A and B are shown apart, each in its own frame.
Chain A
Amino acid sequence: MTGTTAASVASGDAGDAGTPGTRRFARVASTVLRVGLGILWLAAGALKINDPDGMVRSVRAFRILPEALVDPVAYAVPFVEIALGVLLIVGLTVRLAAAISAVLFAVYIAAIASAAARGLRIDCGCFSAGGDLTSEAPTHYTQEIVRDSALLLTSLLLARWPAGYLSVDRLLNGPARQPLDDEDDLLGSTHGIADEEDIADVGAARP
Chain B
Amino acid sequence: MTAAERREKVAAARAAAAARERRRRQLIIGSVVAAVLVLIGVIGFAVQNSREESKPVVLPASATGPDNAIVVGKADAPVTLDFYEDFQCPACGSLERTTGSTISDLIDSGDIKINYHIMSFLGDESKRAANASAAAANEGKFKEFHDALFVDQPEEHTGGYQTDTLIQKGASVGLTSDAFVSAVRDGKYDGYVAKVDEDASRSGVTSTPTVLVDGKQLSADQLTPDGLRAAVSAAAKD
Contact A61 B206 (CB under 8 A): yes
Contact B208 A134 (CB under 8 A): yes
Asked whether A144 is an interface residue with its Cβ less than 8 Å from the other chain, the reply is no
Contact A187 B91 (CB under 8 A): no
In A79-125, which residues have CB < 8 Å from any B CB? Answer: 79-80, 83-84, 87, 92-93, 96-97, 100, 120-122
Set A53, A87, A97, A207: member contacting B121, Cβ < 8 A? A53
Set B91, B197, B202: member contacting A67, Cβ < 8 A? B202
In B16-58, which residues have CB < 8 Å from any A CB? Answer: 18-19, 22-23, 25-27, 29-30, 33-34, 36-37, 40-45, 47-49, 51-52
Q: Give the shortest distance, in Å, between B128 (CB) and chain A (any CB).
A: 15
Complex CA gap A187/B34 in Å reads 12
A133-B202 contact, Cβ under 8 Å, with A76-B44, A80-B41? no
* Chain B hits for A137, CB < 8 A: 91
Query: What is the interface residue range for chain A against chain B?
Result: 35 or more
Asked whether B165 is an interface residue with its Cβ less than 8 Å from the other chain, the reply is no
* Chain B hits for A131, CB < 8 A: 121
Asked whether B212 is an interface residue with its Cβ less than 8 Å from the other chain, the reply is no
Asked whether B15 is an interface residue with its Cβ less than 8 Å from the other chain, the reply is yes
Asked whether B205 is an interface residue with its Cβ less than 8 Å from the other chain, the reply is yes
Set B15, B49, B91: member contacting A134, Cβ < 8 A? B91
Per-residue interface assignment for chain A, residues 123 to 138, with 1 indicating a CB less than 8 Å from any chain B CB and 0 otherwise: 0000000011111110
Stretch at the interface among A21-29, A147-155, A172-180: A172-180
Complex CA gap A186/B20 in Å reads 11
Contact A75 B23 (CB under 8 A): no
Total interface residues on B, using CB and 8 Å? 44
Asked whether A71 is an interface residue with its Cβ less than 8 Å from the other chain, the reply is yes
Asked whether A184 is an interface residue with its Cβ less than 8 Å from the other chain, the reply is yes
Question: What is the interface of chain A, defined by CB distance below 8 A to chain B?
Answer: 52-54, 56-57, 60-61, 63, 67, 71-72, 74-80, 83-84, 87, 92-93, 96-97, 100, 120-122, 131-137, 172-173, 177-178, 180-181, 184-187, 189, 191, 207
**Which 6 pairs across A and B sit closest by C-beta, in order of nearness?**
A79-B44, A75-B48, A76-B41, A52-B48, A75-B45, A186-B26
Known: A92-B29, A133-B206. 18 other contacts (CB 8 A): A53-B52, A57-B121, A76-B44, A78-B44, A79-B40, A83-B36, A93-B30, A96-B33, A100-B37, A121-B207, A132-B205, A134-B86, A134-B89, A134-B92, A135-B208, A136-B91, A137-B91, A186-B27
